[in-house]
A = this chain, B = another copy of it.
Amino acid sequence: MNNTVAALADIVQNKEIAPNIYHMKIKALDIAKKAVPGQFLHIRCGKTLSPLLRRPISIADTDEKTGCVEIIYRVVGEGTRLLSQTLTGHKLDVIGPLGNGFPLPEKDAHCIIVAGGIGTAPIIYLAKKIASEPKNKNSVTTVLGFTTKSEVFGEGYLKFPGVETIIATDDGSYGYKGFPTDILERLLQEHMGKTDPIIYSCGPKPMLIKVKEIAASKNIRAYLSLEEHMACGVGACLGCSVKSSRKGYKKVCKDGPVFEAGEVELC
């Protein structure tokens, strides 16, 4: 049963890679071995009673050989601020890997991965995993959207064979001008009729809503990674609900964070 691990992991890197965006590496072999793309860590950012709760942060990569688990996070509040100030050589109190992951394509497929802002983090791991799967011949296109050039990150992490990366900025200051969903629509147009496309997406809610809409209208499978405020992170508190398309609620931490677009109602 022991799928989730509580670990005091050594921090081996914690550096700012873009304004307020940090890339942290920790040593947590048990987690590195078990994790799949889309899963997250639940992190105690401070050592005192305030902030109290853990913070969910996606796994951005793992390395089974070194036992490293990587995360990329944006400083938005007190928890992430404390995290950004944590020093290399110190320990990080994490539990994970948590949640389900992105279902990988079962057969050859064209995977279009659409990420917005910090939603890029889990996408790096996902793209790498799909591209490195030797059995299938998947092609992967990642579309990363940011508000402006100075916010852009992640391109460098996505330079694997088999992965094409397209960047869009809202203001056109880098890459294409527009939303990543504009590019998604264009890609789908181009690829229609070729190998089956699968869409994966992680990012701000308005983007996910648009992705869901596009996927539904074209009848394409899409997997969305959702966010909701969490307490336990393990399915015990029922705090992180998202409306199910059928009845009642699903738990983002346990039933998700990745859902098939049709399973959940976003809004």
Which residues from B are CB-within-8-Å of A49? 50
| A51 adjacent to chain B (CB < 8 Å) | yes
Among A46, A48, A49, A82, max chain B CB count under 10 A is at A48
Which residues from B are CB-within-8-Å of A51? 48
Which residues from B are CB-within-8-Å of A78? 48
Tell me the complex Cα distance, A50–B78, Å: 13
Copies of this chain present in the complex amount to 2
Query: Interface on chain A toward B: helix, strand, loop, or mixed SS?
Result: loop
Q: How large is the interface on A (under 10, 10 to 19, 20 to 34, 35 or more residues)?
A: under 10
Minimum CB distance partner of A48 in chain B: B50
Among A49, A51, A78, A82, max chain B CB count under 10 A is at A49
Tell me the complex Cα distance, A78–B78, Å: 19
Q: How far is the CB of A55 from chain B (nearest CB, A)?
A: 14
Tell me the complex Cα distance, A78–B50, Å: 13
Tell me the complex Cα distance, A51–B82, Å: 15
| Binary flags per residue of A68-92, CB closer than 8 Å to B gives 1, else 0 | 0000000000100010000000000
Which residues from B are CB-within-8-Å of A46? 48
Q: How far is the CB of A90 from chain B (nearest CB, A)?
A: 10
Q: How far is the CB of A61 from chain B (nearest CB, A)?
A: 29
Q: How far is the CB of A130 from chain B (nearest CB, A)?
A: 40
| Binary flags per residue of A41-77, CB closer than 8 Å to B gives 1, else 0 | 0000010111100000000000000000000000000
Tell me the complex Cα distance, A132–B115, Å: 69
Tell me the complex Cα distance, A48–B83, Å: 13
Minimum CB distance partner of A90 in chain B: B85
Q: How far is the CB of A94 from chain B (nearest CB, A)?
A: 19
Tell me the complex Cα distance, A50–B49, Å: 6
Among A50, A78, A82, max chain B CB count under 10 A is at A50
Q: In chain A, residues 7-22, which have Cβ atoms closer than 8 Å to a Cβ of chain B?
A: none
Which residues from B are CB-within-8-Å of A82? 48
Minimum CB distance partner of A45 in chain B: B48
Known: A48-B48, A48-B82. 6 other contacts (CB 8 A): A46-B48, A48-B50, A48-B51, A48-B78, A49-B50, A50-B50
8 contacts across the A-B interface (CB closer than 8 A): A46-B48, A48-B48, A48-B50, A48-B51, A48-B78, A48-B82, A49-B50, A50-B50
Q: A residues engaging B (CB < 8 A)?
A: 46, 48-51, 78, 82
Q: Which 5 pairs, one residue from A and one from B, show the smallest C-beta to C-beta distance?
A: A50-B50, A49-B50, A48-B50, A48-B48, A46-B48
